[in-house]
Structure 1
């Protein structure tokens, strides 16, 4: 705790003399002991290891099993298709993971290349990576801090620490300050300077107390480097589903062999049947379809300014019920803005011209074409002048500055002496209480009057009201003189003009987005390094919180046990004055209660919590490379509203994936029902393994992908977030899948029976000719494929009819059904394909029959939905 020790104690502990610095020999020795001042990361994984890591998934094992099956039965083309899907999925995963793990590299790039140090009594410029504990570092404006420093000397030193604290205003530093509280937040450590922060004003000296991974930036790097990968709800469900399907496939194979032994069937025949059933139980295209649907979702989201780096993050968005957001730059505009002014005048609506002139002339910032340079507070003042047609450039040209008294943190004032037509005018800005001490008069209703005690109280009350609104108050005063005066004379007998209140204002569109999020059952939480009053004021304006009791500081978090904090957290909406470690603790506490947490931010200080959250969202414009590297999603417009749009998209994508999965399982169940029933009753098998593979990989896949891009349901944001533990088969979906599967399987057997019956045979006939069997299997094959294609239409909604949803609202699905029917017709009619699949062309009457049978599952499901709608209307009446 270097911040609690005096300069002398620190120098003594580090065994260094500030006047001379370390010797060359001592520096070499310490460099060997402590190592280079560089942030470290875990060794990079090779591309090969990344590739094989992508294959560690149960559904991938299922796919590989299907490939083995197709090789066994000699269908090499299908095997190549399946293996291609596996390789493609793995390659996509490698590319995504390679892009995602850039956070440590970005942190390493933030360390500065060269620094000024004092060694052997001389000031030298050395590589920042050669800095070691005990080095005396020289600081001046525009220079980055190379390590964590205990400041030894400061002269008006200000350091911009937003990367660590989230504060948009530079921090004043005081080398003589002491902070005895061990829980002092980083933003309040006025006697310390931290690696990778920027000196914006003044000068100073400090001794390096921590380097490399020991710095505050190093602590962030350690958190980012920790292995925090966690499966998304969808990944968990798919892995669970994959295991179930694989167990079912194995169970079916065992069952078939047992039945075959009892029925005294041919062992080779039973092997082919077992393979057919195993293939029927496994939806080979499922992993590929889910990946394609997510990828298409990513493309759609990029059009609404949300770039998703990791495919599963799209689905995770749909489950989000807490959005933890950084304040500065995310909920606010990340630029100080003058929002109020006060002068003792009845014309408060008129622009206070003289007040603005003084504030602009007594500033060193610039603001042109919407862009400013310099101290953020001064930029806000110059921008205020620009808004009132009092530009910095024109005022400087008219009133030339001839002298100045720079800002000093003790005086809390800055003054300039400017030439006027009749002489000179002093312009002073600073803390209102300090201005009142050195002023003797004030402007009241355009007249100069004595500054009475009553008038002073009026100024102080108005300033306090602004402060209560979390505004930063800055006063202005002036004095006319007919001669050049000294710096000390400048700040005497001034005339008070008034003051302005400024704040980093909230983004205009965020309030509506927060209201929409709340309606959708999502709780917005503000987490910031800024002061409590400022944070709560912004939170109140945006509708995040309604009282200061709903806020908590980092120091208060430290005072609570994990159990007490977990209990208290549900009542808090604003966390202020927090460190990166606090942000991680907050996100973890929410996750421990079963919440799906999105964390939004742009600074280095946000990166650890972005990585630990279920979904980390970084700002694309103002966000640091570190934040972007640690995130799952990047907002290209830095707009909080985009998160809400992305959540809506995520919810719809999950619903669509669920539709596709239920559809595929219904279809596969139909295949299992058809084959297993025929075996149990000692009937001929109605389908070959090649038929099942064709349906699973071609005619099922196209509608499943089309369901995956179904237009979103309009009321999706009027519902609460989905429970991540909710099963795929909740809300009757499982029952509908079973019913659909039984219908498809039964109708496939009906078609098979009709095909045999047409030629004078039945399901129990012996010695059925090969030609008759081929014809009957063709009818079963067509009904199986066509019924699944038509059934996809009814899967678009669990309650609305296909006409309520809009028959033509998903043109991709209509196209998929039409293409599927064309492909099925081609397989039946093109001779070499018919020969390969062992099928036969049907006559016109049979085509009509199979189409009629194929429409039955669709019709039955639509009737069920009608009864559901009628029942709900009665209940609500």
Structure 2
């Protein structure tokens, strides 16, 4: 067990659970009512450090940089440096070892690029972690405030409420029906009852009823506790100290990218060996320099063909995408969740606050004189009263409505106020609904001046009523009891009724009409509350609720509803268009749930909800079948939510589940994407969830799904681009060696017949595999991602059609490059007159431009490259930099020597750009065919029933 730190003035061997509260407070130098002062808390935080568990030591930047060199492909490049250096030494060190220097510079440039990309990803994740940091309530300077959990210090007075995560080990000084979940520490599944008690002698953790511990959660009740240990001094800290750090498992996407890299690496090594062997057989090897040239070609080809920057680019793209989600009010806690979010096929949403505004609103008032409709929704007091279609009710009806709304406001402990232009409530939302409706009449100030509260009879679940005793200053300070409660109970306590300005006996006919009104409101899925009152006689006993709440005068009944969010209906329709099924899971009444679901378009009007009791009555097979067809679940318990999620997942769905209460945590953890409410959600649900809605809005979920799909599409874009471009390099060298005799390379008199030299291949890899690929990772939508059904979990990121496209585009690049070389070389299929260096430079430039043009092709497999051509300014910037670098390598003498290039004429530049664009026109024709093929198969497919 965690001991009292020596700095508190008590021996470290002492157990805080066995020391009295007064001794604890004295040792901690704190007050059990006012807590610490802000200044003292700041001093202790500076002295003791933040309340965080010690993590693995931070990797120094120099180690992160060195890690960029720890890759098999980099090892190949380093081997190339050694080979070229040895050759330079064997030849008597003529001039500078250009090949070795260029390759070394490329290795360093790649390492710096990878380091920068990794740092950006880490910074993005760190920012997200700061956004989702847990908070705790404490008393400082005598006032309650909420602070980040890492700001807790010994001596802080924590305030605990249901759903809170306990931020540090602490000794209870106050507890009311407090129960804490300690399974994370003790393995005990049941919550533990806590009380202000001192243990006698040593006690195991589970028996320390007067202590709460970091990492546990409040399941019920409230309490206050003095922090006795933070960070690594806590019980959780002791466990953390014993654990070995474990690396996070790679995501499915990362695993597939790894498989692609390994498969491609093996294939390319084989191709490189074939090219090397073929080159040796075809060429007239005359010395060590020629051997080194061939070996460098093989090594360079292997390096160029595998997109070694892919993992870093993937991390950056995911991190940037998650940051965009955060700007849309959806905070994703882990990068790995993004790919799952885009695959969601079911969104299981809570009703209150997510699909609805969580602002209880009175829509109708039913009195003896008829029904009045109250316009306006939410807590903003804007609206009016309309009676049976008229612009305003009659005087008699208005008199009744005033008594109902003002009476309900009096029998209430809620408050309505305006802050920074926004109306907000304090207290029960249902009670606040009366305040809002009353303020729409403009009578609030008069009611406040007229009545003064004397006493209150609180609501109890047995009575189902609440009463307030008020002094009426307009009637000689006469006391009056005003009662608000469930209609069926309240009507039984009434003997008279208010009709207009008069009071009449409540006969059977009038009682039946009132009950019919209640039924009508309930049938409209409105929550009902009735209001009654009675003037009290002088000296009448007000201590007994039973005596007070009798012989009441019935006034009327209100129909209350939590109105659906206007944007939620649009979001539900968007989700359905995307092939995502939306279901509602709520603890509310079935009628209310179906009404809201129908208003939002989740179900058709008149549909049925499945209740918790009905779920219990179904066996597993029947339940699975019911889940396939039921979209509204009402009056459900936590176990039912978990069973629903399990059934949906067993049926092959990827489930996103929302929740805000402690009881939602198991279902959120079981769901593929658990989504916690950022405003109303408890710390426990936020911890269990993978995503947090900062605005508690269902529409944000759908927007996050859109963003997730867009991120996944962008990953496919840069994979398509990288693989097809690298395939072009491999095929260019391979076919250039094999077909050297056909394209004039064999007749150049060179000992080693190569279409491109090793440094040129590495240069292409450097300027085309980095910035353009990264820019494609942040590409805006080029097609409507919500027009497609969700991606199946078994669906590969790179499917057969994409692999075919990669090979076809790579082949076009190779043909265009080799055709350009043939165009300028003497002999071959096309007679030319230029030197080998000139022809090779032109081919080299064509291959660069082919890959740059390929960025536009890769933005979609079927949509034209000219669609939304200029929306990605980052891509155009990256292409501009790449073009400038290619111009430099062709025309700067220093780079000419390093990369074996010579300047090109203006006419040759035009030819190179034109030949490079061949890949664009080929892809446009391919996309046109794919659109026709997909359209014809869709039109011929049988329609779904």
User: 858, 862, 865: which is aligned to 1:795?
Assistant: 858
Count of aligned residue pairs for this structure pair: 754
- Contact kept, 8 Å, 1:473 with 1:501, in 2: the verdict is yes
For structure 1, which segment, 577-586 or 469-478, has the greater mean C-alpha deviation from structure 2 after superposition?
Answer: 577-586
Does structure 1 retain, via aligned residues, the 8 Å contact 2:451–2:470? no
Residues 1:720 and 2:778 are matched in the alignment:
no
**1:131-166 per-position Cα deviation (integer Å, ceiling 9, x unaligned):** 6xxx9x863xxxx835479xxxxxxxxxxxxxx9xx
Residue pairs, 1:475-490, within 5 angstroms: 475-481=530-536, 483-487=538-542, 488=544, 489-490=547-548
1:289 corresponds to: 313
Match of 2:271 in 1: 252
CA distance in 1, matches of 2:618, 2:61: 44
Partner residue, 2:757? 688
Task: Say if 1:707 and 1:26 are closer, same or farther in 2 by CA, change over 3 A.
Answer: closer
The change in CA–CA distance for 1:484 and 1:388 in structure 2 (over 3 A counts) is farther
Name 2:914's counterpart in structure 1. 852
Deviation of 1:101 (Å): 7.2
**Native 8 Å contact 1:687 1:777 kept in 2:** yes
Report deviation, 1:323. Answer: 1.2
User: Is it true that 1:46 corresponds to 2:79 in the alignment?
Assistant: no
Q: Distance in 2 between matches of 1:345 and 1:528?
A: 35
2:527–2:560 Cα contact (<8 Å) kept: yes
SS where residue 499 of structure 1 aligns? strand
SS of match in other structure, 2:354 = helix
Distance in 1, matches of 2:246 and 2:488, equals 52
Instruction: Tell me the distance in 2 between the aligned counterparts of 1:555 and 1:366.
Output: 36
2:300 maps to what in 1?
276
Q: Residues 77 and 300 of structure 2 are in contact (CA less than 8 Å); yes or no, is this contact kept in structure 1?
A: no
Q: 1:80 aligns to what?
A: 108
1:820 aligns with 2:882: yes
Partner of 1:145: 178
In structure 1, which of residues 635, 641, 665 is the aligned counterpart of residue 723 of structure 2? 665
Partner of 1:655: 713
- Distance change in 2, residues 1:848/1:549 (3 Å): closer
Query: Which runs of 5 or more structure 2 residues have no equivalent in the other structure?
Result: 1-13, 22-50, 85-99, 138-147, 161-167, 183-190, 192-216, 224-244, 373-386, 388-392, 741-745, 747-752, 941-945
Between the aligned partners of 1:48 and 1:383, the Cα distance in structure 2 is 54
Show the counterpart of 1:422: 475
- Matching residue of 2:25: none
The question of whether the paired residues in 2 share the 8 Å contact of 1:756 and 1:763 is answered with: no
Matches within 5 A, 1:15-94: 28=18, 45-48=55-58, 68=78, 74=100, 75-88=103-116, 90-91=118-119
> Are 2:456 and 1:399 aligned?
no
Cα distance in 2 for residues equivalent to 1:356 and 1:555: 36
Of 430, 434, 442, 1:381 maps to 434
Could you list the per-position Cα deviations for residues 208-249 of structure 1 after superposition, in whole angstroms to 9, with x for gaps in the alignment?
xxxxxxxxxxxxxxxxxx999776553343233222222223
* 1:323 alignment partner, one of 344, 347, 358: 347
How far did residue 90 of structure 1 move?
4.7
Offset of 1:625 from its aligned partner?
Answer: 4.0
Map of 2:256 onto structure 1: 237
What CA distance in whole angstroms lies between the structure 2 residues aligned with 1:806 and 1:549? 43
CA separation of 1:70 and 1:318: change in aligned 2, threshold 3 A:
farther
Once the two structures are overlaid, the 10-residue window that deviates more, 433-442 or 806-815, is: 806-815
Checking the alignment, whether the CA contact within 8 Å between 1:330 and 1:602 is kept in structure 2 is no
Alpha-carbon spacing, 1:409–1:104, altered in 2? closer, same or farther (3 Å): same
1:311-341 deviation line (CA, Å, top 9, x unaligned): 4444433322111222232222234332332
Which residue is 1:785 aligned to? 848
- Residue aligned with 2:645, SS: helix
Cα distance in structure 2, aligned partners of 1:781 and 1:704:
20
Q: What is the distance in 2 between the residues matched to 1:816 and 1:44?
A: 41
- Report the Cα distance in structure 2 between the residues aligned to 1:490 and 1:312, rounded to whole angstroms: 61
Contact in 1 for aligned 2:261/2:307 (Cα 8 Å): no
For the residue of structure 2 that corresponds to 1:842, the secondary structure is coil
Aligned residue in 1 for 2:238 = none
The Cα shift of 1:496 comes to 0.6
> What secondary structure sits across from 2:530 in the alignment?
strand
Q: Cα–Cα, structure 1 residues 560 and 485, in superposed 2: closer, same or farther, change >3 Å?
A: same
**How far 1:742 moved relative to its partner?**
0.5
SS at match of 1:324: strand
In the alignment, the residues of structure 1 paired with residue 674 and residue 113 of structure 2 have an alpha-carbon distance, to the nearest angstrom, of 29
**Aligned partners of 2:779, 2:269: CA distance in 1, in Å?**
34
* Cα distance in 1, alignment partners of residues 75 and 406 from structure 2: 78
1:107-144 CA-to-partner distances (Å, cap 9, x unmatched) read 9999995799xxxxxxxxxx98446xxx9x863xxxx8
Match of 1:195? 218
Q: Alignment partner of 2:475: what SS?
A: coil
Taking structure 1 as reference, are residues 113 and 271 closer, same or farther at Cα in structure 2, changes over 3 Å only? same
User: Aligned to 1:465, which of 520, 523, 526?
Assistant: 520
Residues 260 and 567 of structure 1: CA distance in aligned 2, closer, same or farther (over 3 Å): farther
Secondary structure of 2:365 counterpart: strand
| Residue 306 (structure 1) aligned with residue 369 (structure 2) | no
Give the drift of 1:827. 1.0
Distance across 2 between alignment mates of 1:763 and 1:276: 28
**Residue 703 (structure 1) shift:** 3.4
8 Å contact kept, 1:441–1:496: yes
Partners of 2:873 and 2:494 lie apart in 1 by 76
CA gap of 1:580–1:79, structure 2 versus 1, over 3 A, is: farther
Residue by residue over 1:179-204, the C-alpha shift from the partner in whole angstroms, topping out at 9 and shown as x without a partner, is: xxxxxxxxxxxxxxx9354569xxxx
Distance 2:123 2:765 in 1: 28
Q: Which runs of 5+ in 1 are unaligned?
A: 1-23, 32-40, 117-126, 150-163, 165-193, 201-225
Aligned to 2:416: 367
Q: Which moved more, 1:611-620 or 1:634-643?
A: 611-620
Q: Choose 517-526 or 557-566, whichever is displaced more.
A: 557-566
CA separation in 2, counterparts of 1:315 and 1:25? 47
Q: 1:428 to 1:540 in 2, by over 3 A?
A: same
Residue 550 of structure 2 corresponds to: 492
What are the superposed Cα offsets for residues 434-470 of structure 1, whole Å, 9 maximum, x if unpaired?
Answer: 3222221112355322111222222223223333444
Q: Cα gap change, 1:251/1:629 in structure 2, threshold over 3 Å: closer, same or farther?
A: farther
Whether 2:649 is the aligned partner of 1:591: answer yes
1:107–1:626 contact (8 Å) kept in structure 2: no
1:673 Cα deviation after fit: 0.5
Query: How has the CA–CA distance of structure 1 residues 240 and 874 changed in structure 2, closer, same or farther, with 3 Å as cutoff?
Result: closer
Note the C-alpha offset of 1:275.
0.6
1:335-382 residue CA offsets vs partner (Å, 9 max, x unmatched)? 433233211214632351111121112222221212222333322322
Q: How far 1:46 moved relative to its partner?
A: 0.9
Following superposition, the deviation at residue 278 of structure 1 comes to: 0.6
Change in Cα spacing, 1:113 to 1:472, as seen in structure 2 (3 Å) is: farther
The question of 1:679 aligning with 2:737 is answered: yes
In structure 2, what is the Cα distance between the partners aligned to 1:533 and 1:69?
73
1:514, distance to aligned residue in structure 2 (A): 0.7
Task: Tell me which residue corresponds to 1:209.
Answer: none
* Residues 572 and 656 of structure 1: CA distance in aligned 2, closer, same or farther (over 3 Å): same
* 2:362 and 2:437 in contact (8 A); partners too: yes
Structure-2 residue corresponding to 1:832: 894
- The answer (yes or no) to whether the contact 1:799–1:869 under 8 Å persists in 2 is yes
- Cα displacement (A) at 1:601: 3.1
Structure 1 distance, partners of 2:561, 2:454, is 31
Offset, 1:782: 0.7
* Cα distance between partner residues in 2 of 1:353 and 1:538: 28
Hey, what's the Cα distance between the residues in 2 that align with 1:240 and 1:726? 15
Matched, 1:616 2:674: yes
Q: 2:766 aligns with which of 690, 697, 710?
A: 697
Find the counterpart in structure 1 of residue 358 from structure 2.
334
2:462 to 406, 410, 421: 410
